[in-house]
């Protein structure tokens, strides 16, 4: 199918599939089903409220919530109204959400709970919001989710003509979402994805993934990330199959045993944890009897993990993409899998390797640009080719292997991305911290090497009755570590959970040019520093 927009796609599937199950979710211990017709009706009701309130095509709508049925319904209501969904990760701090919503100039807001409202509303009190909806709880002057839907069904008849007009007029070139990928502690970068970007990527995945109308997708990754939003949400929409929502990250295997999915998408860290928990021999049974394949993305999949799963009779396929590419660029297929690679380009997508080894891509999946940032857009998309910032190689059969990163961006094993310089700048704002280098590529949390201001550290310890003259002994003293830990936690109080530094090593001397740790312009030589302290850093991930 090649619908004009995502809202029209939902309507088409409702007309075609009607009473068949679209969504399955668990609440209060019981599973509930929502049919395709019910799905489309609720999306249309939500769109009616937005339209009645004055939301125009292209207006931005904020959405801050964990995964739940209402997330999907709100998304489709926004898109059916021709508006633009601006989803914030549920784990962000209120300040970070405020920065993104303010930057996007939202006109309406969907929030998970009264707690979310109480934290965020004071920060956005000056924005001319046309409405706020709470999925759970209530607050004065704010719509509850049941009241929002009830109002929508009441006004649906009067707004039906306008909904039809918008579904007919919104094109593939029109904006569907703005997704913020970084800038959580600095200037944000909002990736603008169109209906055509997302539809083309879902259509490409249908061609090679093996997802069919009788498939059951189990979704648990955050829908506020493009990975889950495409390969779970919009792929299910395109295929007309069932999407079963897991209750949480902790209940995925339990939900798999109950829903019997044909496919699950996850990050490498998830597959590592499952293997460690159940062992190779039980892998074939823990994901349910109907499982056909597993999808891995968001971070590099260790070849040994992929091989172990496949040897156990569980097909684990790795793909590759970026938020800026909607996201899938390449993917290993069930009938064409090469371990260690991220597969071949999906249909309609081109991949090229630049002379310096950078992976470039071109096609209908490439973003419209960065919201309010033409300079960054021009730097990233040149002559139609998007520069990924990753280094890679293409073999004779078109299989892509990612070999490294041009940028310093850290990708944790759970797929979360961290800009180390931003975290380091926050930490160095603490007077007691002189220098810091953050690490964590491929790991499940951040660690750091910290050079304290020895004079300030001694002064602080002196106030606590601790006197240590030797620098080496000073940085190893438990009280010194405790003092720095307090400052680290304070400095990172408002960053996302994955941006926090869990463990660190205190060093008695600063990084220097003489030691080869700094460039002439005093920039950190991260590779040199990491190699010098590799063993000590690695030990932080094995310590209890």
Does any domain span residue 109? yes
| 467 exposure class (CB count in 10 Å sphere: 0-12, 13-18, 19+) | exposed
User: HSE of 282 in the Cβ direction (CA atoms, 13 Å)?
Assistant: 8
Find where tokens 């180390």 sit: 420
Contact 233, 277 (CB under 8 A): no
Residue 250 token pair: 């902790």
pLDDT of residue 77: 98
The CATH number assigned to the domain holding 441 equals 3.30.300.30
For residues 462 and 508, give the distance between their C-alpha atoms in angstroms, rounded to a whole number: 18
Residue whose tokens read 């260690």: 340
Question: What is the DSSP code string of 452-501?
Answer: E-HHHHHHHHHHTT-----HHHHHHSHHHHHHHHHHHHHHTTTS-GGGSE
22-25 LR contacts (CB < 8 Å, sep 24+): 22/236, 22/242, 22/243, 23/69, 23/72, 23/242, 23/243, 23/244, 23/245, 24/216, 24/242, 24/243, 24/244, 24/245, 24/259, 25/68, 25/69, 25/244, 25/245
Q: Token pair of 3, please?
A: 């619908």
Burial bucket for residue 311 (CB in 10 Å: 0-12, 13-18, 19+): exposed
Residue 184 covered by a domain:
no
Instruction: Tell me what pLDDT residue 183 has.
Output: 38
The 10s digit of each residue's pLDDT in 295-330 is: 999 878 888 889 999 999 999 999 999 999 999 999
Q: Do residues 290 and 306 lie in contact, with contact meaning Cβ atoms separated by under 8 Å?
A: no
Tokens of 67: 């995964």
Report the alpha-carbon distance of residue 119 to residue 524 in Å, rounded: 37
pLDDT at 391: 84
Residue 305 contacts residue 271 (beta carbons within 8 Å): yes
137-140: Cβ within 8 A, 24+ apart: 137/113, 138/114, 139/114
Q: How far apart are CA 145 and CA 131, in angstroms?
A: 12
Dist CA 213 CA 336 (whole Å): 22
The contacts of residue 134 (CB under 8 Å, 6+ apart) are: 111, 112, 113, 114, 116, 117, 142, 143, 144, 145
What are the angstrom distances between the C-alpha of 299 and each of 90, 204, 279? Answer: 20, 21, 22
- Name the H helices within 25-87: 36-52, 69-80
Q: Which residue has 């003509």 as its token pair?
A: 161
pLDDT along the chain (544 residues), means of 10: 92 98 94 98 98 98 98 98 97 92 97 97 95 97 97 97 98 98 61 98 91 97 95 98 95 95 92 89 93 91 91 97 96 95 97 94 98 96 95 95 79 89 87 93 95 94 93 95 96 94 96 79 78 94 81
Q: Residue 328 forms beta bridges with which residues?
A: 321
H helix or E strand, kind and range, residue 200: helix 195-209
Looking up residue 110, the CATH number of its domain turns out to be 3.40.50.980
Q: In the listed set 130, 148, 170, which residue is the last one of a domain according to the structure?
A: 170
119 prior amide bond cis, ω within 30: no
For residue 518, the model assigns a pLDDT of 80
If you search the block for the tokens 């007029």, which residue do you land on?
A: 169
Per the domain annotation, does 458 fall within a domain?
yes
pLDDT in tens, 364-383: 999 999 999 999 999 999 99
**The domain containing residue 116 runs over which residues?**
4-8+35-170
Tokens of 173: 């070139």
Residue 58 lies in a domain: yes
Phi, psi for 512 (deg, rounded to 5): -145, 160
Give the pLDDT of residue 523. Answer: 66
Residue 197 lies in a domain: no
- Inside any domain, residue 264: no
80 in any annotated domain? yes
Q: How many CA atoms lie within 13 A of 411 on its CB side?
A: 19
Q: How many domains does the chain have?
A: 2
Q: Among 121, 144, 170, identify where a domain stops.
A: 170
DSSP state, residue 336: B
In a domain, 441, yes or no: yes
Closest CA to 16 of 172, 213, 190, 156: 213
Residue whose token pair is 């999808």: 295
Q: 151, 170, 189 — which closes off a domain? A: 170
pLDDT, residue 193, reads: 98
Query: Rounded CA gap, 330 and 393, in Å?
Result: 13
Instruction: Give me the pLDDT at residue 519, please.
Output: 64
């Amino acid at each position: 199918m090649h619908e004009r927009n995502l809202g029209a796609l939902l309507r088409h599937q409702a007309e075609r599939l009607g009473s068949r199950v679209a969504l399955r979710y668990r609440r209060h211990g019981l599973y509930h089903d929502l049919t395709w017709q019910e799905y489309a009706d609720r999306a249309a009701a939500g769109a009616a409220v937005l339209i009645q309130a004055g939301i125009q095509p292209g207006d931005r709508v904020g959405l801050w919530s964990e995964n739940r049925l209402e997330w999907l319904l709100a998304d489709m209501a926004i898109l059916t109204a021709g508006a633009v969904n601006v989803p914030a990760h549920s784990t962000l701090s209120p300040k970070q959400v405020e920065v993104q919503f303010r930057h996007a100039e939202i006109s309406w807001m969907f929030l998970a709970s009264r707690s979310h409202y109480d934290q965020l509303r004071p920060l956005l009190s000056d924005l001319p919001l046309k409405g706020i909806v709470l999925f759970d709880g209530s607050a004065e002057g704010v719509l509850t989710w049941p009241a929002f839907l009830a109002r929508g069904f009441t006004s649906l008849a009067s707004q039906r003509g306008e909904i039809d007009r918008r579904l007919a007029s919104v094109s593939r070139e029109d904006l569907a979402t703005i997704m913020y990928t970084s800038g959580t502690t600095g200037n944000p970068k909002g990736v603008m994805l169109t209906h055509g970007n997302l539809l083309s990527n879902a259509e490409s995945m249908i061609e090679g993934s093996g997802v069919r109308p009788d498939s059951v997708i189990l979704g648990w990754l955050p829908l506020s990330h493009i990975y889950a939003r495409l390969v779970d949400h919009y792929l299910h929409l395109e295929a007309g199959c069932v999407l079963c929502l897991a209750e949480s990250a902790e209940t995925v295997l339990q939900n798999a045993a109950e829903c019997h999915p044909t496919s699950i998408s996850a990050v490498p860290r998830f597959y590592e944890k499952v293997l460690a928990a159940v062992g190779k021999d039980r892998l074939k049974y823990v994901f349910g009897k109907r499982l056909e394949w597993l999808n891995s993305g968001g971070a590099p999949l260790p070849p040994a993990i992929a091989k172990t799963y496949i040897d156990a009779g569980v097909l684990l396929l790795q793909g590759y993409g970026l938020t800026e590419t909607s996201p899938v660029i390449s993917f290993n297929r069930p009938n064409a899998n090469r371990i260690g690679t991220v597969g071949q380009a999906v249909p309609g997508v081109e991949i090229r390797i630049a002379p310096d080894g950078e992976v470039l891509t071109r096609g209908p999946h490439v973003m419209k640009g960065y919201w309010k940032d033409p300079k960054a857009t021009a730097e990233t998309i040149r002559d139609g080719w998007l520069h990924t910032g990753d280094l890679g190689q293409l073999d004779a059969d078109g299989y892509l292997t990612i070999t490294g990163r041009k940028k310093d961006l850290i990708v944790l094993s759970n797929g979360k991305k961290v800009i180390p310089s931003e975290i380091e700048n926050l930490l160095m704002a603490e007077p007691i911290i002189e220098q810091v280098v953050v690490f964590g590529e491929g790991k499940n949390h951040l660690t750091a090497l910290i050079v304290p201001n020895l004079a300030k550290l001694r002064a602080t310890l002196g106030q606590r009755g601790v006197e240590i003259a030797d620098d080496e002994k000073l940085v190893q003293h438990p009280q010194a570590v405790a003092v720095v830990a307090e400052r680290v936690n304070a400095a990172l109080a408002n960053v996302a959970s994955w941006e926090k530094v869990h463990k660190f090593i205190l060093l008695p001397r600063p990084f220097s040019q003489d030691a080869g740790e700094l460039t002439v312009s005093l920039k950190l030589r991260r590779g040199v520093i990491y190699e010098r302290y590799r063993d000590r850093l690695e030990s932080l991930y094995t310590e209890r």
